[in-house]
Amino acid sequence: MSLLELNNISKIYGDLKALDNVSLSVDTGEWVAIMGPSGSGKSTMMNIIGCMDKPTSGAVLLDGKDISKESAKSLTAIRRDKIGLIFQQFHLVNYLTAVENVMVAQYYHSMPDEKEALEALERVGLADRAKHLPSQLSGGEQQRVCIARALINYPEIVLADEPTGNLDEANENIVLDIFKQLHKDGTTLVVVTHDPEVGEVAQRTITLEHGRIVKDALNANFKEA
Amino acid sequence: MFFRMIRGAFTRQWKKMLMIALTIALGASLATAMLGVMMDVGDKVNQELKTYGANITVVPKASSVIGNLYEVEGGESGETAYLREDELGKIKTIFWAFNIVDFSPFIDTEVTLPDGAGVKLVGTWFNHHLALPTGEELDTGVKNLRTWWSIEDGRWIDEGLDVYEPNCVMVGSVLAEREGLRVGDWLHVSAPYGENDLIVCGIFDSGDDADEQLYAPMDVVQALSDTDGYLTSIEVSALTTPDNELAERAAKDPSSLSIADYELWYCTAYVSSICYQLQEVITDSVASPVRQVADSEGAILEKTELLMVLITILSLIGSALGITNLVTASVMERSNELGLLKAIGAKDGAISALVLTEVILTGIVGAAIGYFAGLGFAQIIGHTVFGSSIAMKPLVLPVVAVLVLVVTLAGSVPAIRMLLKLRPAEVLHGR
Ligand SMILES: Nc1ncnc2c1ncn2[C@@H]1O[C@H](COP(=O)(O)OP(=O)(O)OP(=O)(O)O)[C@@H](O)[C@H]1O
Ligand SMILES: [Mg+2]
């Protein structure tokens, strides 16, 4: 059984079909890149998978459970328990230190545990920046804090929308290396990008255009790390 | 963690929080000052009315009946009925003699001035020295009873001194102005039973009818009106116990009381029992408390209180609006942060609690600043408006605290509603 399944979902804004009858299934441990030009519906799809939005029609199965009809309250709970989110703009709380930003996710999930949060920062190579405020960190470092925060509650699926969009080459590589490590550890990854280099390293690439999937292919060059 | 987030929010947003605190402080200070003044001044005036306000007038029975029937002032219609001057000393022999602070007899008559104007001439005691049958000595008279008179020129008539110049008269300010009278002037007055030359030794301002009258020693007026040994009224100032249900029943009809009640009433310094006892010693008299002064003061007090309540309400509404603006702006500015918290799984309740805690903590700081500022305001108001310092009632603090809490929460409602509507998808993808 696949971890995530989209069955004929559409998202319609007025007469604009941001997603048009899309079906897709993602298995546990898969690393999927979603590509496509601007406005093709990538973020819309991410929001629906990430339980931050509901499709106009169609069913979204996460762990075999249809989440498209759930109330806002239970969507919050699903987000908290099953999903790790990584954003293009990082979205760190700017008055909290790096480690506190990770602990916030623990706090709303269960119990903040500073030791565990520090370990998570260590895994993304930021142990020595734990007490810094976001304004004292570089973009790449902020994105790594964001990744540490997304991973801290052991989500079933990690969603990243343009995670490297604001990063330079060197930082992009650091992030991709982290993704490779995550994939190796068995984490399910869905990464939205319009950067071919980021798309290429994934296991499978899905291309959207005008709200439809126009291509869904396994990546020939993909190497298990 | 919650605490760290609150602390973080405060250190980063302290300017905004300070603004909110000051807005709350403004409302709280006005509320504190107004409530403090209101509660204390109300109490003070009440107390004053209770201890000093019980002035009693004693008039002849006939005059009182006519006065009540036709609602004219007792003195004018009482020509045929008088009280007896030789009974005055008995006032200090009643059961509650020690509660009688001051008293003064009055006799009045119409006199005509040289220009033909008719004026009321009042004879009374000014600072009369009294040696009582009990051996007690006492100085009493209008100088004590008319504390609100201000002497514009000259001096009070001094009965000790004026033995040597017995024809002194004090002139009301309005009359003095109209007649062009000044201290040292001679004034010729003629009355039905005689005439006299009086020397003006003081001009006073009373703010009431007395400003158009002449005040002279008793015997001068008695001679002019041929009423030697008689009085038209007596005014008594007594310390009294506040009325209760027993006093009210007794005031209607003392004979309706049981013996035990009657004794309790008679032996308590109710204004009604003092009146009753005065009637017992002054032949054919009616003694009644003067309530008009108290009532009008009470009415003004009520209006002042209403005004202060309105100011309090308005200032609190003002603060609530200010808080609404500031808190809403702060939530708007933080929509990214709050949206993110929602995205990583914070419940609406948890985020509302976070924002409300911040606002309430700010409110507590603001209320504290406002409360202490309000204590200061209250003293300023007390001194400038009421001429006395204000003793803060302990009740003010909890009342202000509750008001601030209500206002702060009410002011935060729109921000919380906005926060609940906030959808993480809309703020997190950088649209
Ligand atoms: N809340 C909304 N209301 C109306 N239209 C919307 C809304 N959200 C998205 N759209 C429209 O839906 C389409 C898909 O938007 P989406 O954000 O999914 O694109 P995208 O593929 O993420 O683009 P980009 O690469 O620029 O981020 C766009 O045309 C967008 O204008
Ligand atoms: Mg997008």
From the list B336, B344, B428, the residue facing A108 with the nearest CB is B344
Residue A80 lies in a domain: yes
The number of angstroms, rounded, from the C-alpha of B201 to the middle of its chain's C-alpha atoms is 32
Closest ligand 1 atom to the C-alpha of A36?
21
Residue A223 lies in a domain: no
- Decide: residue A166, CB within 10 A, 0-12 exposed, 13-18 middle, 19+ buried: middle
From the list A53, A88, A105, the residue facing B425 with the nearest CB is A53
Q: Does A50 touch chain B (CB under 8 A)?
A: yes
Contacts A13 to B, Cβ<8 Å: none
The pLDDT value recorded for residue B48 is: 56
What ipTM, to 2 d.p.? 0.92
Cβ–Cβ of B1/A104 closer than 8 Å?
yes
The pLDDT value recorded for residue B296 is: 56
Closest by alpha carbon to B32, among B368, B411, B387? B368
Cβ–Cβ of B430/A112 closer than 8 Å?
no
Helices (H), B334-423: 335-343, 348-381, 396-421
| Cα atoms in the Cβ-side hemisphere of radius 13 Å centred on B307 | 7
The pLDDT value recorded for residue B41 is: 76
From the list A76, A96, A112, the residue facing B345 with the nearest CB is A76
CATH number at residue A174: 3.40.50.300
The pLDDT value recorded for residue B304 is: 78
Q: Which domain holds residue A45?
A: 28-54+70-218
- Give, for ligand 1, the residue of A9, A44, A89, A210 to mutate: max count of ligand atoms closer than 8 Å to Cβ: A44
What is the spatial distance between Cα B369 and Cα B20, in angstroms, rounded to a whole number? 12
Residue A12 lies in a domain: no
Give mean pLDDT in consecutive 10-residue pieces for chain B, a chain of 431 residues.
85 86 93 87 61 72 58 46 87 84 90 91 90 79 85 88 76 93 92 89 88 92 89 87 78 84 86 88 87 57 82 90 92 90 92 92 93 93 81 88 92 93 82 46
End-to-end CA distance of chain B: 30
Q: Is A135 in the pocket of ligand 1 (CB under 6 A)?
A: no
What is the per-residue burial (b if ≥16 Cβ within 10 Å, else e) of B139-151? ebbbbbbbeebee
Q: Is A42 in the pocket of ligand 1 (CB under 6 A)?
A: yes
Cβ–Cβ of B343/A77 closer than 8 Å?
no
The pLDDT value recorded for residue A87 is: 92
- Give, for ligand 1, the residue of A20, A35, A40 to mutate: max count of ligand atoms closer than 8 Å to Cβ: A40
Q: Does A34 touch chain B (CB under 8 A)?
A: no
Q: Is A18 in the pocket of ligand 1 (CB under 6 A)?
A: yes
Cβ–Cβ of B1/A95 closer than 8 Å?
no
Cβ–Cβ of B430/A149 closer than 8 Å?
no
Residue A19 lies in a domain: no
Q: For B350, which residue in chain A has the nearest alpha carbon?
A: A108
Q: For A83, which residue in chain B has the nearest alpha carbon?
A: B344
Contacts A80 to B, Cβ<8 Å: 344-346
- Structural domain total, chain A: 1
For ligand 1, atom 12, name the residue with the nearest CA: A18
Cβ–Cβ of A108/B423 closer than 8 Å?
no
Query: CB of B51 within 8 A of CB of B239?
Result: yes
Compute, in angstroms, the gap from residue A159 CA to the centroid of ligand 1. Answer: 17
The pLDDT value recorded for residue A79 is: 92
Contacts B345 to A, Cβ<8 Å: 76-77, 79-81, 105, 108-109
Looking at the complex, report in whole angstroms how far the Cα of residue A180 sits from the nearest Cα belonging to chain B. 23
The pLDDT value recorded for residue B227 is: 87
Closest by alpha carbon to A3, among A58, A86, A63? A63
The pLDDT value recorded for residue B298 is: 58
Mutation to test the B interface, candidates A96, A101, A194, most B Cβ within 10 Å:
A96
Compute, in angstroms, the gap from residue A18 CA to the centroid of ligand 1. Answer: 6
What is the per-residue burial (b if ≥16 Cβ within 10 Å, else e) of B358-387? bbbebbbbbbbbbbebbbebbbebbeeeee
Per-position DSSP letters for A14-71, written without gaps between them: TTEEEEEEEEEEE-TT-EEEEE--TTSSHHHHHHHHTTSS--SEEEEEETTEE-TT--
Compute, in angstroms, the gap from residue A160 CA to the centroid of ligand 1. Answer: 16
- Could you give the angle at the alpha carbon of B165 between the alpha carbons of B163 and B169, nearest 5°? 105
CB atoms within 10 A of CB A13: 9
Closest by alpha carbon to B40, among B308, B244, B238, B350? B308
Which ligand is nearest the CA of A161, by number? 2
Estimate the crossing angle of helix B335-343 against helix B292-333, to 10 degrees.
Answer: 70
The pLDDT value recorded for residue B70 is: 47
The residues in A 55-94 lying below 8 A from B, measured between CB atoms, are: 73, 76-77, 79-81, 85, 87-89, 91, 93-94
The pLDDT value recorded for residue A146 is: 95
Q: pLDDT tens digits for chain A (225 residues)?
A: 689 999 999 999 999 999 999 999 999 999 999 999 999 999 999 999 999 999 999 999 998 889 988 888 899 999 999 999 999 998 999 889 999 999 999 999 999 999 999 999 999 999 999 999 999 999 999 999 999 999 999 999 999 999 998 899 999 999 999 999 999 999 999 999 988 889 989 999 999 999 999 999 998 878 776
Residue A36 lies in a domain: yes
Q: For B9, which residue in chain A has the nearest alpha carbon?
A: A95
From the list B344, B348, B430, the residue facing A85 with the nearest CB is B344
Residue A16 lies in a domain: no
